Structures are given as structure tokens and as C-alpha cells.
Structure 1
Amino acid sequence: MRTETKFIFFPSNNTPNFVRAAVVVYWIGFAVFFFRIVHGTGVPPFLTRPEVEGAITVFGLLFAILIFHAFVIMRLSAGKLWARNVALFLTAFFIVTTLYRLFASGLSSEHNNVLGLIIFAAETVAGVFLLTPKSTAWFKSKID
């Protein structure tokens, strides 16, 4: 049995607006995450062998996380219930860790800048959008 996977980056027009808005927010969050990784890490130091191995490991892990994140958003766009559950779990994890960092270290320009707080608020709202009755009904109707 062979299944064909299509790359669906954004939901179709018959998708509830809350789901469409959540997908857009998740893609924006993905872009910010990608930019922060590229901007924050820069060029790895390639001076000695342990530094090369560490840099390759870190970039490999970050690359794997980015691929998984993009895959979940694409499957969310396709209406997969498991992708919605994974997105909700990751959003809840993001909320808990961000709130912990805010209360533990306070609001600093280094860890929690304005863009980070905007993404935090937007992804929180996107998670709520995925829990609306219309969104839930749409995901349940897409079960194969």
C-alpha cells in the first residue's frame, strides 16, 4: 500500500478561518525561529577538531528540529488531527517554558525581547484557535 504525500503549506479556502490564521502564525513563528538560529549562531568556529564536532552536532540537531517543525505545520495545513495535537503540545510546552523564563530571570533584552513576546502571544492565540469548535470539527472531518 503506497500513500502519496503532498506538500501543503497553507490550508485551502474551505478551511475554517481560525485554522488558516493559526497556520500563518505558526509559519511566522517558524521563520522567526529560523532567523534567530541563523543570526544567533553565526559561523561556527572551525579551529580544532572538538569544536568542529560540536558545531556539526548542534547544526544537525537544529536542522532536524526545523524540518520536524515545518513538517508538522504542513500536516496541520492538510488537516491531520495528529499534527494538531503535536502543535498544541509544542505550543503548551513553549508557553510553559517562556513563562518559567520570564518569572525566573525577568524580562531582559537578551532572552525575551519584544519580538519574542509578540511571537509568544501570537502562538498562544494560534493554539486557542485550534481548539475552537469549528476547528475541532474540521480536523475530525478530515480523518481518513
Structure 2
Amino acid sequence: MKAKADFIFFREHKTPNSVRAAVAIYWIALSVFVVRFGLALRTLPFSAHRAPMITVFGLLFTVLIFEAFAIAQLSYGKLWARNVVLFSTAFAIVTTAYSLFANGLHAQQNDAIGLISVAAETVAGLFLLTSKSTAWFKSKIK
């Protein structure tokens, strides 16, 4: 007997390659962010007040879950998900640019992995704005 597992991220084969690439890039960028955030947590002093830290981590966790849900909905052609992901990409670009100008390249949040991740998200956002992608998302509106 041979077992076969199908991992279906796109229900139909008509999904443009630019959307497929953008979804893959966003999943990778989100995974990199979660790993980097987890590694950064190890260096935090936990002698500080716990209630504000739990609140901040809870809010961040909620945002990350919503971002993951929006990325998953891109696969189904949801226009609202594209808008949410594009907004979060624009927010990441603006905050990274501000951090670069304010702190320079030597700042901890401006390391090579972070900059590459934001650059990849920028490319993914541009993929979502191509004419084929836009037409595909608009064709999914019912």
C-alpha cells in the first residue's frame, strides 16, 4: 500500500503564479518573524512586571493569528485578505524605513534577516498588485 498526502493550498489550478509566489513568501516571512521573536524572548529579563508583558504578548499573538488567517485566505482569493496583507506590508516598510533613518544599520532590529524579510514582503506585495492577480481577486467577488 502506498500512502499519499495532498497538501492543498489553492483549491483551483487557475490561481496566478504571482499569487502563489506571494502566499509562499508571506508564509516564509511570518515563520521567520515568529522564530526571531521567539529567540528574542529568551533575552528578556522576566523580573519585570508580568501583567503588562502578558498583555503585550497576548495582543501580539492575536495580531499574528489574524495575519496568518489573512495569508491563508489569500489562497482562496479573498479581496479583504489581500488588502489586510498589503496594509501590513506597507506598515512593515514604513516602520523599517523609519528605523533605518532613525537608528541606522547598526540597530538590532535592522539586521540582515529583518531587512531581507521586509524586502521579500515588498516583492510579495508587488506580486499581489500585478494585473493578473488583481483580475483574479476581482473575479472571486460574488
Question: What's the TM-score once normalised by structure 2's chain length?
Answer: 0.86
* Identical-residue share of aligned pairs (%): 60
Q: How is 1:34-113 mapped onto 2 (pairs within 5 angstroms)?
A: 34-42=34-42, 45=46, 51-108=49-106, 110-113=108-111
- Of the structure 1 ranges 57-66 and 127-136, higher mean CA displacement relative to structure 2 is found in 57-66
> Match for residue 10 of structure 1?
9
Aligned in 2, Cα 1:9/1:67: closer, same or farther, shift over 3 Å?
A: farther
Cα distance in 2 for residues equivalent to 1:115 and 1:10: 26
**3-state SS of paired residue (2:108):** coil
SS in 2 for 1:68: helix
Residue of structure 2 equivalent to 1:5: none
Q: Distance in 2 between matches of 1:131 and 1:57?
A: 35
RMSD, matched Cα: 1.9
Cα deviation, residue 73, structure 1: 0.3
Cα offset, 1:9, TM superposition: 7.5
Structure 2: gaps of 5 or more residues: 1-6
* 3-state DSSP of counterpart to 2:141: coil
Conserved 8 A contact 1:9-1:77: no
Say how many residue pairs are matched: 134
Query: Displacement of 1:10 after TM fit?
Result: 2.7
State the shift of 1:110 in Å.
1.3
Q: Distance in 2 between matches of 1:31 and 1:99?
A: 22
Q: Look up the SS of the partner of 1:111 in the other structure.
A: helix
Task: Call closer, same or farther: CA 1:76–1:33 in 2, change over 3 Å.
Answer: same
Higher mean C-alpha deviation, range 59-68 or range 123-132 = 59-68
CA contact (8 A) 1:15 1:138 kept: yes
Aligned AA (1:10): F
State how far apart, in whole Å, the 1-side matches of 2:120 and 2:29 are: 8
What CA distance in whole angstroms lies between the structure 2 residues aligned with 1:24 and 1:9?
Answer: 13
Shift in Å at residue 35 of structure 1?
Answer: 0.9
1:114-143 superposed Cα distances (whole Å, 9 cap, x missing partner): 111111111111010000000000001111
User: How far does residue 103 in structure 1 lie from its aligned partner after superposition?
Assistant: 1.1
Distance 2:68 2:103 in 1: 30
Counterpart Cα distance in 2 of 1:136 and 1:63: 30
